[in-house]
Each structure stands twice: as C-alpha cells, then as structure tokens.
Chain A
C-alpha cells in the first residue's frame, strides 16, 4: 500500500523531530526526519512528500524573535518550493517554533491568498517567562482545518516563552470570521479562557492557540500534540486509570487526542491523493 510521506524538519536547534516523527508513524504515515540543509542543497526534494512539519525547538536559538531566522532561511533558499508545495494541495503543520516560523514566512494566516505577508506575530508571553503547562483547548468545528476535524476538546502541553498571538484587531476579526481560529485556550468545561491566566497561558489575543490558512491545509499551533503520543503523557492519567478501574472499566489506552490530530492529516492525504 502506498504510504503517506511526512517530512519533519531537523537541525539548527529544532528539537521535537523525533517525537513528531513518531506521531506521524503512529498516525499511519511514513515519517522522514530531514535536515534543513538537505532541502536547501536539493539532496532531498520537498515535492516527494505529502506533509511538511515544522516542529518545535529553538531554531537559531530564537535569538532574534522565535522562528524568525528559520523563516528567513527557508524563504531565501526554498521559498518557491514551499509555495509550490502549498499550491499542490499538500499539508503543512507548524508546532510551537514551527508555528512561529509559519507566521514569519507568511504561510499563515494566508489572508487573501497572500502566502508571503507577515500579518500575525507570536511574541513574548504576558507572564514574562517560559512556561510548561498542560492546557485545555476548544476546537472550532466550523474551521476548514484538516488536522482538527472532530476534535472538540483537546489537552496538550504548551512549552514556550513566546506564544502570544498578536495581530491588528482587523486581522483578528477576519481570522475569527473566516473560522481560521482552529483552537482556543479554554477552561475545564471547554469555554474560551477569555484571556484569564493561566488558562490562557500567554495572553494570546482571542485566546488563539492555533490558526489555519483559509484552505485549512496549513495549520499552526502553540501546544504540542506530539507530546501527547501515549496515554501516560497526560498529567491526569494515573488518576483516570484508577477511577476507571473502580467503575469496573478500563481506561482507553489507545490512540490519544494528540495522535488523532496527525491522523486527520494522514487520512486527508490518503483520501485526496491516493
């Protein structure tokens, strides 16, 4: 059977490539970790893949704004390849540092089909520090996003110092109106956090945790779905396990909400390209 091929960028301080690759494998794809310079040198061709993943990490140390140099480097060397990849209807996902790179490339939010304009910035958390915390997300059922299909609530960890999504109020309005806001930080019941810390851990405008382009095929989010690749990743798993046991039930130890997100992408490619 033909396999969906996912390319996960590596190198220059990126650091979530192994678990992101694992997440794609668990979702049924064939993952390939590829060094950014292999794409630039042409040794690896983007066109040979279906899904491109910009993973988490600290590319170039994030010294001049998170994801800024990564975006510049890719734009400079393979900018056209990226646009062709998007035009071919393939999928791009950016997680954390990858999301930051996507907005700096302009691939997100891609308003008015302009995939080069920077209209959103992801900047320093209002709390003034790097933060590792599990957040609850509410998914936007009306979003065209391919990856979030059927995910109404999700718990994923955030781990960033620069995760606050900022844009001109007009841009935010447009994103909301277009249903490009895929995930919002939420309270335990799934209602948007309304900026309340730490439910919204970084002060993101409109509680934005994830955005897609108008086509829904380019997707970026600050939380890390790949870090919820196994049921034991969830901070409450020991308690849930015990509570299920007392009810005479077994906790679901199968596919996590984290992996479901990747599977949505893989399924989309299978349905569309094969």
Chain B
C-alpha cells in the first residue's frame, strides 16, 4: 500500500487562554524586548502511513482533539498571523510524542506501523504584532523556540504562506541507505593509529596506542584471531577500547600520577592515585567501622542500610557537555540517566528521590562573548529538562541548588542525584550482590538503538569547541523508562534476574563489556539488537548511547517468565547474547565475527596519565584582604545582599518540581509560614510504613577555590553535614557523595598555561576530602568526576577566549533518622523563644558573598576546625533528639546576616538580635577588632542558629556547656522585623519581614 503524508493541526479554541503562547510573549519581551501582541500555538502531527481518510478522521477526532477545548483540521488551520514560525525535530532526534501517538493509534485502530511509516510532531507559532520584523522573528526562532542541534525551523510572513500546504511538514525520518559493515584498522605504526584515531574521533590516548598495537601484533593473539577470521583490529574493537579507556569510564585523571610541588616549600610529593589514596582507602577503612555501609566503590551506586529490611542506594552524576549544547535535552537525559543507576545497583532499587544542582553563568550577561547557549536560555532549558525527566519518572525532586558564576559560561554544570530503596534480601539472597555466570543470557531491555549518543563519552572527555560532534545530544524518554522501572522491579522480586546494569556512557560496550568480566567472557549477536532504523554499523550498535536501556543477565530457565512480564508491561526485551567463561569478548553480526579480544585486555599495562602539579599558596599569588571600611547603611546592604543571585529566592525552580510524589515528604525543599524559604535539607520516608526517614543535603562552594581548594573542599563537606544535622540527622550515619567538576589540568604552554596550578588545586581538594571524611567518619558511598570544564567562546573580533570554571565539588550527604516526628525545620515558631548561635564566628570573609559584592576576593578563607565542629554537632543532635530545639538552621553562604533574615521570613515573626552576645571562638581568645560586617557576613563554618523555648533554656545550656554557644536574642510577636544591634549596642539593622521578602524575591520573584 502506498504511504500518504498527512498533517493534523490542533490548536486551543480562540477564546481560551493559551498559556504556552503567553509564556512566549512574556519571554520575547523580557529577553529581547520584542513585542508580540498576540500569539497562538498549533501542534502539528505529521503521519506517514497507509491510513485511509476515515481512519485519519478518527485519529484526528477521537485521539488528538479535545472536543471541549481544541479545534483541529487535516488542513492547515486558518489562524491569522503577521509571522509564523514552524519548529520541528531534525531526523533521528527522539520524538516522544510521536512515539506515543503511534502506540495509541496501534491500540485504537489496530494499525501497526511498518518500516517506512511513522508519526512526527512539530509546532507552529502564529504571531501578531505591528513592530515584528523578520529579523526579530528569526531571533525568537533561533534563541527561544528552537535549537539547531536538534531542531529545524521555517519562518513565513503572511505573503509567503500558502493556506493549502501550510508549513509543508515532511516526516523527519532517518534514511541511512547503508549496508552495515565493519572495517579493519591499519596499525602499522603509532603515527598511523594516532591519525586514524583523530579521523574517526576515537579519542585514543597517545600513551595507550603502543599498548594497543602490541596486543594486536602479538603472535598468540594473531593466531587466535585467525581462527575466527580476524587479523588487524576492527573498528568495533578499537571503539570498545576507546570507550573503556576514556576518562569518563576509566577515571584516568583520578588514577593518574601527580608530581605535586608547593613553591613555598622544598621537594616534590608523588601522588600515585588520588582515587585510591583519598577516596577508596578512607572509605574502605570507614566501611569496617560503620556497619551501616553495605556496598561501596564497585557498583553503579553505593548502598547503605536504611532499616533491618531495606537498604538505600545513592549516586550522583553530571551531564555537563550535552547540556551546554542542548540544555533541555542534556538535562532530561541527565536526570533520566542517573535514575538508571539505582535501577542497576545490586539487583535493582526502586527510585524514591532525586536532586539537582545547576551552575551557570550570569543570566543577565550582555558582554562580548558568545557561549553556545546564553546562560539565561541554558538555565531555562536545564530547569525544564529536570522537570520533565524527574516529574515524569514519578520521583520527587526534594532538594537542589542553583549557582551563578562567570566561570560557568565556558561550560555550565548540571548535577543530578538519584536515591533508591531495595529490600535487603531478594528471595533470601542479599540484594546488593550480583554476578553473571556462563550460560546466562544477555538481555537488553527498554529503548532501541540509534545513532544518537555516539561518542558521548569521548566528547565529555574533551573541552568544548566548535568541532565537538553535536550528534551526541539526546532527549531522554522518562515514559519508556518508567515502564521499564516498574517491570524490572517485578522481575527482581520474582528472582528472575541475576545481574542488572544500565546502559549509559559507552552503551553496550561498557555494560556488556564490564558485566562479562564477572563470568569471564561473552558472545554477543549484534544483529539481534533492536534498532530505530536500519543501516547502523556494528561499532555504532555496540557503543551507541541511546537511552532508557538496561542490560540484564537471565538464566535460560527464567527466560519465558521474564519475557511474559516484559510483554505485559509493553517493554521491549531482546536476547542479544550469552555470558561465557571463554576469556573472550566475542561479538558477531549474522554469524560473522567482528570483535574477538581477551577479557583481560584492559588490564594489559595501559600507562597511567601523568600530571605536574604546582601549588602557589594564596599569599604568593598576592591575595590580601581588601580595604573596606565599616558600612553605615546596614539595612541597604542587607537588602542588596538578599537580592544577589546566589542568595535570593529560587522558589520558581522548586515549584516546577514534584517534591511530594510517592507520599513520603517530611521536610520539603521550601519551608516556613509562606512555604518559600529554602530548607537546610530534605527528609523523606522511603518506606511509608516506617517512622524512619532519610535526610539529604548538598553543598556547593566553588568561590572558595579562588583562595584555596583545600578549604573549599572542607567547607563544602562541613556545610552538607551541618545541613543534615540541622534537620535532625544523625552524626553517626552520614554518607557522602563527591562530584568533582574541574577545568583541564593537563599543562600545555599555549592551551593550558595554568594547568599545573589547576592540577595542584585538584590534589589539595582530594587531600581535604580525605581529611574531612576521616574526621567526620563519612564513607563516600559514591562519586564521580567530570573534567574539562572549560569552553572556548567566540568574542567580538573573531577571537576565541578560553573560559574555565572554578574547581567545583558538589558534596551530598545522606543520613538515616530514627524518628521523623523529631525533625526540625528552620522557621522560628513561637514568640518568646530564645535565639542561640552555636559555633564561633571568625574573621573569615575571604571569597565571601560580602566581598564578592565589592568585586573582591580577599585572603581570610573560612577554615573548618573538625574537632570543635564535631562536638557542637553532637550536642545539637542530642538537643534535637530530646526535642529541646524548636527551630534550627545551618548558617551558610552569606553569613549570619543573611541567615537571620531567612529565619525571620520563615517564621513570619520578629527577631531581636544582639551581636555583642555572639559566642567567642575559644576560651581566652578575643574578638576585639571584629567589626559588625565580620559578624554579619563572615562565612565561618560550623555554625547554627537555633531557637529554644524559655522552659528549655537551662537544659539546653547545660547540654551545650563549654561549647561556643550563646543566647543572642529573642523571637517576638511585638513586631515582624529583624532587629540587630551591633557590637556597640547600637541598632544597625531594622527591616520588616515584608522588606526582607521584597529584597529576597526581587531578582527572580516574578518567575513562575
């Protein structure tokens, strides 16, 4: 039957408010000053099929049109405009709505879609406005409505519009017209292989090339390969090696050798592996000490004990490079991707929460540099990506942070974190253990394989440039993954699966390659892997990073039941091979061998990467304290501080994220009388029948890297811990996750002249990581590193300027709470309560928000005194456990001034504070010479503000005896102001809740 192309156009009835069009109007105006008088959005569904006219009418009327609100037509809708913008996907980009349309049409009409049939969705926007010009409309198309990497657009004026053919939408289908094959690669010389590596984008490291050649030129290897019909390495094999050796998969930087030299001292310290020394070794030591640590350092996520019957699973990832090119696609793929990690941990966990961290450039930037996406657009996109990915996964997003710094304009950061829960035992066996065995079948479940995502891993291991292949940007599909999640949990509970892992970076190459290490071999039949379209080469199928796929080991005896459940849940599952114990990774395509290498090839003495690290202490870099006298207008100063982007309200982001789904919300991301102040940490009940809860917090303090990354790291960890303690977490159970994002540390005289310094910064951060984790006894349940946070941005004269991010670590902390009914939030609750500050305030304004206001860095960076903090944290934990504290809040970025303000707004009550009463930092030491701005804005670690009922005063003070804890004021309902008296007892701050609130919401308050 001949296929016809039909377009169905659907729009809201004219009298209804078109919210999407309103949002477009608003953004066009506020971002570009382009005035649109009226706008309407039209959804277009393009169908290429053999459906007849009657069937198409049914599709239009019964499926795609809501009779109450919409109008639709098989011809272009006659909607007036001055300009019309059509936007559709490029071929091969995941079209989720197109896929569900096919699913429902198959169901309702019994119509299956053949190879050359399909459904594609697109949109057009009808704009009216007297001042609109083609150039302006084009700007909207390029900078607001489409992204050239995944989308295409057309612009029509009314004159150019043909009412009969409309936007003339063609199916965006992929036609490869290629017969799949594999190549063999010439390895006659190192130079030859290096050249081919560049040409084919293999990203092989120069140091690895001789090892690879030596293997393939080995006579024994050659003899064995001859038997399966191979000689020189195939592209499939080299791609496999490239994936496995990439920095993303192999963590070459963290396993590299560093020659560390501090210019202020003699000698060189050799660091043989930052990972082993500063992450693995302390974590293994702490695992011995902490019996709640169940599984760390090998699986897709770490596992900790939740209660006698359940373990929790946690991991955190970044998805930076893709998000920088296509913010929405990158972020949704990131969150949906990290959600596969708990699903692939042990025998599989059920997801119960997630979080986000966004680090972007200045959203108001109007300077000469041209990042791939303007920070404002990038932020819009990543927010929306995490929204769709998280919400549609049915997982609450309970915590998150958004940071702004010019360094992120080169490459912004998108952190995504996932937590899952699983029964301790599955069919009597520990759920955190898994392995593959010879004879078990290799099954791929979930999505299909396409060209998308190819070379994603190697691209994220390089700095962004105009030559970075754009093809690796994808759009995650939470719908397909949610079906798979539900299906796989049932398989797990029925004991059908013996191993599971996700397909992320490196695709099958990593998931099958790594899981076959356990059985010591595999045979894979690539021709059986379901593909989105024909014509993919073997290597492409093998390394494609197409999303929403898991690799699972199932014994032949369990196969029938596994497949039955798969069909019932409408998840595609395919047997693509078999685990063996031959010691070989053996890949075939239609019975022809296209890869045959030893499983232990990757252990064949590949050389470590080497780095020179040169530390220049801050005093040698000339950092000093700035000379700024004490301000006289603290009211004005404080309101200005509250409006700063890194301090102010980001309520609009949290509101877009479902943080209640699954019904376990205890402490929400926003708290206080008006539910609009960010909480210290979130608390969730992953097991609804238990009174236990899981507390979760994160911290990011990259600014301190300007002075010393050692203290950046300790302060970051301390803040995450403090936040956990503030809500009632247990100091004895704190799990950590480290996510390093660092600029390039490889020295190059021309391209990276400060590489050695950045390498030293990394070493120092790692040392601090270990010191803090050992001091607080935090095992690192999981962690990741993402290097090359640099960008080369085009300037106004055709130059390219390198922009590097500050060394950044997101530290996440988890804790298990015995009794959620004892949790505390940060809002003062009752008038008459006493306000205490716990912890000492020191002269530590270095790299603070306060100095940043004046464009200064300073020198006096906050330093963590672990022993002193520990005692304080335990005291507060005890006070909360005894229910002595009615509110508690960790003092963080911005210092006491900001955090008294947040508490005042959260409580909706007055607070009267006397800075002269602040605790001294130790016996006998003096705070003489400390100014009011030091007290208000110093960011010293280890501090809390708590409120205590008068009747608990003596018990609380007794509990805190000998600690730097003192009563600094009172909560009152006489007024609703924050009143602060300075050191000399004179009033320096007097601001009403309303004034604070107005300042706090000034910057993003009208965002929804």
Contacts and interface: CB of A to CB of B under 8 A. Distances in A.
A89 to B, nearest CB: 28
B69 interface: yes
A44 to B, nearest CB: 11
Contacts of A28: none
Contacts of B660: 132, 157, 159, 224, 227, 233
B668 A235 contact: yes
Contacts of A78: none
Interface in A223-267: 224, 226-227, 229-233, 235-236, 238-239, 241-243, 245-246, 253
B762 interface: no
Given A37-B570, A242-B886, A166 B19 contact: no
A238 B23 contact: no
B825 A238 contact: yes
Interface stretch (A12-20, A46-54, A146-154): A12-20
B570 A60 contact: no
Contact of B661 (A133, A159, A231): A159
A15 B394 contact: yes
Contacts of A127: 19, 1008
Given A16-B663, A166-B16, A239-B827, A61 B479 contact: yes
Contacts of A272: none
Of A11, A15, A104, A227, most B-chain CB atoms within 10 Å: A15
A120 B689 CA distance: 37
Interface stretch (A62-70, A137-145, A179-187, A212-220): A62-70
Interface string B175-186: 000000000000
B620 interface: no
A60 B391 contact: no
A166 B688 CA distance: 35
A233 B1008 CA distance: 24
A153 B824 CA distance: 26
Of A121, A167, A226, most B-chain CB atoms within 10 Å: A121
A195 to B, nearest CB: 12
B732 interface: no
B658 A167 contact: no
Given A11-B483, A60-B479, A167-B68, A131 B655 contact: yes
B688 A61 contact: no
B86 to A, nearest CB: 19
Contacts of A236: 673
A1 B949 CA distance: 48
A38 B487 CA distance: 13
Contact of A69 (B100, B394, B570, B664): B100
A37 B569 contact: yes
A194 interface: no
A58 B392 contact: yes
Contacts of B107: 72-73, 76
Interface string A160-189: 000000111000000000000000000000
Nearest to B45: A64
A22 B688 contact: yes
Interface in B382-420: 387, 391-394
A227 B656 contact: no
A120 B824 CA distance: 43
B895 interface: no
Contact of A232 (B479, B821, B883): B821
Contact of A63 (B101, B569, B671, B1008): B101
Given A132-B660, A242-B829, A230 B688 contact: yes
A225 to B, nearest CB: 10
Interface in B90-120: 96-97, 100-101, 103-104, 107-108
Contacts of B518: none
Interface residues of B, number: 71
B656 A12 contact: no
Given A64-B63, A118-B66, A233 B665 contact: yes
Interface in B913-951: 949
Interface string B235-248: 00000000000000
A16 B97 contact: no
B22 interface: yes
Interface in B14-46: 16-17, 19-20, 22-23
Contacts of B623: none
A116 interface: no
Interface in A108-127: 118-121, 123-127
A256 to B, nearest CB: 11
A132 B657 contact: yes
A124 B666 contact: no
B685 A230 contact: yes
Nearest to B17: A126
A130 interface: yes
A60 B20 contact: no
Given A13-B479, A76-B107, A133-B655, A128 B19 contact: yes
Contacts of B479: 12-13, 58, 60-61, 63
A95 B569 CA distance: 22
A98 interface: no
A226 B663 contact: yes
A233 B387 contact: no
A268 interface: no
A238 B486 contact: no
B824 A63 contact: no
B64 interface: yes
A233 B666 contact: yes
A15 B661 CA distance: 8
A118 B68 contact: yes
B568 interface: yes
Contact of B665 (A128, A166, A227): A227
B635 interface: no
A64 B100 contact: yes
B622 interface: no
B656 A65 contact: no
Contact of B830 (A119, A130, A242): A242
A69 B656 CA distance: 24
B176 to A, nearest CB: 26
B67 interface: yes
A10 B490 CA distance: 12
B1008 A16 contact: no
Of A125, A157, A224, most B-chain CB atoms within 10 Å: A157
Interface string B699-731: 000000000000000000000000000000000
Contact of A238 (B69, B387, B675, B824): B824
A192 interface: no
A115 B665 CA distance: 36
B662 interface: yes
Of B63, B68, B887, most A-chain CB atoms within 10 Å: B68
A72 B665 contact: no
B391 A130 contact: yes
A131 B654 CA distance: 9
Contacts of B569: 11, 35, 37
B482 A15 contact: yes
Given A22-B689, A238-B824, A129 B662 contact: no
Contacts of A229: 663, 688
Given A61-B478, A63-B96, A159-B658, 8 more contacts: A11-B570, A12-B570, A15-B393, A22-B689, A61-B96, A104-B66, A134-B675, A238-B887
The 3 closest A-B pairs by CB, nearest first: A15-B394, A19-B663, A121-B68
29 contacts: A14-B394, A15-B393, A18-B662, A22-B689, A35-B569, A37-B568, A38-B568, A58-B394, A61-B96, A63-B100, A69-B100, A72-B63, A118-B68, A123-B66, A124-B19, A127-B19, A128-B19, A129-B1008, A130-B391, A130-B658, A159-B661, A166-B16, A227-B665, A232-B820, A235-B675, A236-B673, A239-B829, A242-B829, A246-B949
Interface of B: 12, 16-17, 19-20, 22-23, 62-64, 66-69, 96-97, 100-101, 103-104, 107-108, 121, 387, 391-394, 477-479, 482-483, 486, 568-570, 654-668, 671, 673, 675, 685, 688-689, 820-821, 823-825, 827, 829-830, 883, 886-887, 949, 1008
